[in-house]
Structure 1
């Protein structure tokens, strides 16, 4: 659960940045060339465990019923990996979903999801390296622009609620102050100036 709590906010920020790039809605307040850009080590944390999860169509009828209810309640295309991981402990998933479902249908929950989505868009617009993702550029790479935009928008709609759900689950057994700390703190490396760090964007970039 800590792993999803760690990953999902980053995925939301990534989805917002991609959606803004596809929309042409890039930052109007670029960083100064003299501003140092914070850098951290890249890659998978050595102490991060591999993700395990139940099949999308589990052999257990009881578990499939829970999956179907989650998909219907959240208007999902398929069951998320987060719930498939929790399904490794079906009794726990059944209990926690019973607690989450009533909250999901409240105005407070909807407002919190919208606030989180807006916050992600605000943070994405302030990233030091906004990447323009024009239709022409994507089509040169053989990527369907409209499908990519739809995917980015879908993730922006999905992830705020998922982040809240995992956070609510964590509150059952972890203090809030611990949840605010990264379980895998990234090691900082020397900052560099933006003008020296700006990546070159070419049509052949991957």
Structure 2
């Protein structure tokens, strides 16, 4: 994905990543439910466990806008749809992203292979809400390392996710992503014809198109906006 990497290195992307998270949070917080905040003692976690939980959760908050842009850029490109128009003349379009943005946030995430039995009901609720059949998204397999937290957080957040406020959050997140992708000055060369020129066979191109269509327009439409909450 070297062709896509420059998209994430500009000040404009930094501005977008802040706007993406703000679009989600401001929409959700405009509803009739406050987002929960937890103290370590309420979850029965040791200080080191709580720091690790907070750090790994921060990582997903940082990557949410990156994944949204990646999926939109690659999905469009593989369908032959336009990415950027080269008309963004703002300095931010080509200036480097500020080094301080999201610096020192996050820890390398780890995940469970099998969801603990005590989280069976929680996992079922997650799958039902996001429209999933079997596997849980990475964020939930990560948080399942701390069953007390995931169970409590899902019970508190599910009503907010089921609300019109979260629907607005998803819409605003998508609009923010589309606007940024429309503006990027460097369209990646990963359209089908570009891939054919590099020797990629038709079966592989079709598989990639189907994969990123699923990533960009499947359950991920509700999974990614849930990350900043």
TM-score (norm 1): 0.67
How do 1:87-126 and structure 2 match up within 5 A? Answer: 87-126=144-183
Q: Is the 8 A contact 1:116 1:160 kept in 2?
A: no
* SS of residue paired to 2:96: strand
- Checking the alignment, whether the CA contact within 8 Å between 1:17 and 1:121 is kept in structure 2 is no
Give the match for residue 149 of structure 1.
209
1:11 to partner: Cα distance: 0.8
Distance 1:75 1:110 in 2: 15
The answer to whether the 8 A contact 2:122-2:151 is kept is yes
RMSD: 2.9
Q: What are the superposed Cα offsets for residues 63-109 of structure 1, whole Å, 9 maximum, x if unpaired?
A: 23322321122112520110111111101101111122222222221
Ranges in structure 1 where 5+ consecutive residues have no aligned partner: 169-206
Shift of residue 21, structure 1, vs aligned partner: 1.2
Q: Which structure carries more relative contact order (alpha carbon 8 Å, separation 6+)? A: 1
Matched, 1:82 2:124: no
Distance 1:41 1:108 in 2: 31
Specify whether residues 34 and 156 from structure 1 end up closer, same or farther in structure 2 by C-alpha distance, changes over 3 A only: closer
Report the count of equivalent residues: 164
Bigger fraction of residues in strand: 1
Offset, 1:3 = 0.4
Which residue of the partner structure matches residue 14 of structure 1?
Answer: 70
